[in-house]
Amino acid sequence: MTGRSQRGLVLAGLLSALLVGCALMPTGSVQVSPEKSREQLKRAKVFLAAGDYRRAVEACQKEIDEAPSAESYVYLTYVYHAIDGYLEALAKADRWVAVEQLYVNLAARETQDLVDPPEVLARIAKEIIQGAAQRQADVSAAMAARLNHVAVERLWRQQADWRKAKPDSWWAGVPEEWGW
């Protein structure tokens, strides 16, 4: 195994650990106005449309920090599902360069990454990202259900309808009923 592929595997493991760690981090119960809270979701919507999934996840995590609720956990879960859906669409279209770009988007955070970029084979990146996104989605979905099962069921019906209405691009936006 070359140094580059070893580094890629190490970075992939770190990415998985980072995603799991972020989901398990305690969140504060700071109360803010709904307008400020919605700002994070508006940002997440733009990030989804741009394909900047790292920032979409971060914006939803900030939403949870600022206004924890079943809804905010469902929104984060949805972003993880969007990552998974986008990866599946890229793989089906045989767009492996875009998979690599998504991996870099999720892994790169600092200027250091410009001189020592995270590298991994696209098909390995797909499996790593999907596995981590699915685990994170399960964690945040369980948290949402513990807070308000009725709201969670309503939101998942809305997103299921959204996915049916936009089967080839649902991951680039959110259901209009959510008001992001």
CA-wise closest residue to 100 among 111, 109, 91 = 91
Whether residue 22 is contained in a domain is answered as: no
pTM for this model (two decimals): 0.70
The verdict on residue 23 lying in a domain is no
| Number of domains observed in the structure of the chain | 1
Residue 28 lies in a domain: no
pLDDT class for 99, splitting at 50, 70, 90?
very high
Instruction: Pick 48 or 20 by higher pLDDT.
Output: 48
- Domain presence at residue 27: no
Query: What local confidence, expressed as pLDDT, does residue 25 receive?
Result: 42
Q: Is residue 53 domain-resident? A: yes
Provide long-range contacts, Cβ within 8 A and 24+ apart, for 173-180: 173/45, 173/48, 173/49, 174/44, 174/45, 174/48, 174/75, 174/78, 178/41, 178/75, 179/38, 180/38, 180/41, 180/42, 180/44, 180/45
Domain that holds residue 113: 3-16+33-178
What are the tens digits of pLDDT across the range 42-77? 999 999 999 999 999 999 999 999 999 999 999 999
